[in-house]
Structure 1
Amino acid sequence: MLVHPERNPMSRLTTPNEGKPFAGWDWSKPIPAPLAFHRTPVIEAWTDYNDHMTESAFLLVFGDSSDCFFRYIGIDEAYREAGQSIYTMETRIHNRREAHIGDPLALTLQLIDRDAKRLHIFHTMTSEADGAVLATAEQILVHVDMQAGRSSPFPPDLAERIAAIAAVHAVLPLPPTVGVPLGLRKK
């Protein structure tokens, strides 16, 4: 495993699925559109002095949703121990509503685009209580050869699974905030 010898693995941030291996790909099962693998309640540690979920906690929960996706397509601890992973290149979060301790969250993930080395994904976080969209996150991810320290193409089996998801997700509407420039609107 690629771990710094001076670092205690128990002291690092983990995901809820840490240690859960890739379950294998079943080509006979339908691919959800969008993917919906992550649900969680807001915990007290994620809240701030305003008594609602912090901006960093939104990113944490979106990251946990990404981890569910990674494990679905075959990227788990064994994959990383073999020297490959996915790194985040860019993330943009749109906060829509507050979330408070105990609020039940449901996340979906849509594969927007892909190429030989990169993925463009879109998360939606909703309240399970009323279905309201609380936040969205748009991300660009890159496949990395950790030994070489640079991007690398997805291996054929992983690329094939990603292509299957992309084909199913191609019929989904493009979320309205995808690719929208950041800035102040002039009046």
Structure 2
Amino acid sequence: MTEPHAAIPLVTGVMAIEPAWIDYNGHLNMAYYNVLFDRAADEILGHAGLGPDYIATRNLSFMTAEIHVCYVREVFLADPVTVTMRFLDLDAKRLHVFAELRHATEGWLSATSEQMYLHVDMAARRTAPFPEDVMATLTAMKAQDDGKPWPERAGRKIGIVRKG
């Protein structure tokens, strides 16, 4: 685990789109945006000690309670991508994040994902507080985003806007 007061990167390495993820429209299928966002969460939250060995060593994990994806621009098989994650809120058992999927070399926005994670005791299969060391690192990660404006697409709801 990283020292809690060290700056922790909240951006992934470059990720490739896999051929099986391309749909009949010739672009990334909507389901695989979630795969990319999930892999990004594993990579970024791994810096807080929430990586693959977390269950094995502590019998604790985190799970997604809610997710909202906005598709902004198509990505295709040859497009390299990265995900940047912002921590919007945090309490003893929950983490609220906002992630952006961007073209890795051109920088344009492809999709956003707002997510609520729950910290879970795997033996009880119930929510549980983050351990102190993990909470300290998550708090330091969140501090990197404190004071930034709320993302435009965060907190949105789905609905048809009617005029008049």
Aligned to 1:85: 61
Read off the aligned partner of 1:173 and give its amino acid letter. P
Runs of at least 4 residues off by over 4 Å: none
Q: Once the 2 structures are TM-superposed, how far is the Cα of residue 27 of structure 1 from its aligned partner?
A: 4.6
Where in structure 1 are there 5+ consecutive unaligned residues? 1-23
Where in structure 2 are there 5+ consecutive unaligned residues? none
Q: Once the 2 structures are TM-superposed, how far is the Cα of residue 123 of structure 1 from its aligned partner?
A: 0.6
- The TM-score with structure 2 as length reference comes to 0.93
Aligned to 2:6: 29
Q: CA RMSD in A?
A: 1.3
Cα distance in 1, alignment partners of residues 140 and 51 from structure 2: 19
**Which residue, 145, 150, 174 being the options, matches 2:126?**
150
Percent pairwise identity: 31
Aligned to 1:4: none
* Cα deviation 1:24-53 (Å, max 9, x = unaligned): 213563234xx1123212221110001100
In structure 2, the residue corresponding to 1:25 is in which secondary structure? coil
Counting only pairs closer than 5 Å after superposition, residues 96-111 of structure 1 correspond to structure 2 as 96-111=72-87
Kept after mapping to 1: 8 A contact 2:3/2:137? no
Cα distance in 2, alignment partners of residues 151 and 181 from structure 1: 25
Give the number of the structure with larger relative contact order, counting CA–CA contacts within 8 Å between residues 6 or more apart. Answer: 2
Cα distance in 1, alignment partners of residues 133 and 97 from structure 2: 20
**Which residue, 80, 99, 105 being the options, matches 1:123?**
99
Q: Once the 2 structures are TM-superposed, how far is the Cα of residue 129 of structure 1 from its aligned partner?
A: 3.4
Q: Once the 2 structures are TM-superposed, how far is the Cα of residue 174 of structure 1 from its aligned partner?
A: 1.2
Task: Report how many aligned residue pairs link the two structures.
Answer: 162
- The TM-score with structure 1 as length reference comes to 0.82
* Cα deviation 1:56-102 (Å, max 9, x = unaligned): 11000000000012211001233112310000000000000111111
Counting only pairs closer than 5 Å after superposition, residues 147-186 of structure 1 correspond to structure 2 as 147-186=123-162
In structure 2, the residue corresponding to 1:175 is in which secondary structure? coil
